[in-house]
Structure formats: C-alpha cells, structure tokens
Amino acid sequence: MVQPQPDGPMQWDMSGEDSGGVLRIPPELAGNEVVIRLLCDNQQLREALRRSNQTLRQRCEEMEGWQQKIREEREFLSCRFQDARLLVEKLALENHSLQCMVNGPGSSSNHSYTSSKSDVLPGHPARNGPLEEPKPD
C-alpha cells in the first residue's frame, strides 16, 4: 500500500489488522470538499478491490477443485485403459493359441495372428481363417 511521507500533514493509522488503514487528516483539511470526495472515492475503490479479490479467490478455489477432479478422472481413465490393454493382449494370446490348436501342430507356426481395423468391415464379423474365394451362383 502506498503511504504518505511521514513529514506530510496526513498520517496513516495502521493499528487495526482489518481496519484497512485509516487516514487521519488535519482539522484544516477535514472540511475541504475535494479531500472529502477523494476519501469517499478512495473508500469505494478499496471496497471494489476487496470484492474483486474475494471473487478471484472464489474462482481460484473453483478452478483448483475442477483441476483436481480432472486429474482424478484422468487417472481413473488411465487405469481403465491399462486394464483394457492387458485384457486385449491376453485375448490376443488366447486367440493365437486357439488358432494354433485349430490349425494343428504341423501348420505354419511362424505366423502370428494380428488383427487390424482394415480386416473388419462395419456390419461384418471378423474372420480369423483364410480368405475364401466368392462362389459363383
């Protein structure tokens, strides 16, 4: 806070913690309209600043709560994603072992079955076996 020089005619009284600093003015300036108007404007500005600071504090607290919620949600989704990835890997291994059992031990064991989005068309089931030629009707 800006304070007047100690040698000036006005002095700040900062005795109260929440007093906001009371300005004691000499009696010869107390009746001056300009000084009264400036003091009133000063008080209005202090009040506006106090309200603005309070609003900013509330918004900051809301933002911190929102950020915490987002962090928790991100962590939850990350765990779910890891679980899903592990399940997909497990199912892919199980699928591969079933493929080996169906194809028999003598079939090409060098092939590893991988599926991609291009293998499955929307509305059509995925095919795990060899491609068949279309039969003429």
Spatial CA neighbour of 46 closest among 24, 19, 16: 19
In Å, the largest CA–CA distance within the chain is 114
Q: Is the pTM of this model over 0.75?
A: no
Answer yes or no: is pLDDT of 113 > 70.
Answer: no
Tens of pLDDT along 1-42? 455 554 555 554 544 445 556 677 777 777 788 888 998 999
Spatial CA neighbour of 54 closest among 62, 65, 69: 62
Residue 36 burial (CB count, 10 A): 13
Share of the chain above pLDDT 90, in %: 47
Answer yes or no: is pLDDT of 104 > 70.
Answer: yes
Stretch 113-121: mean pLDDT, rounded? Answer: 47
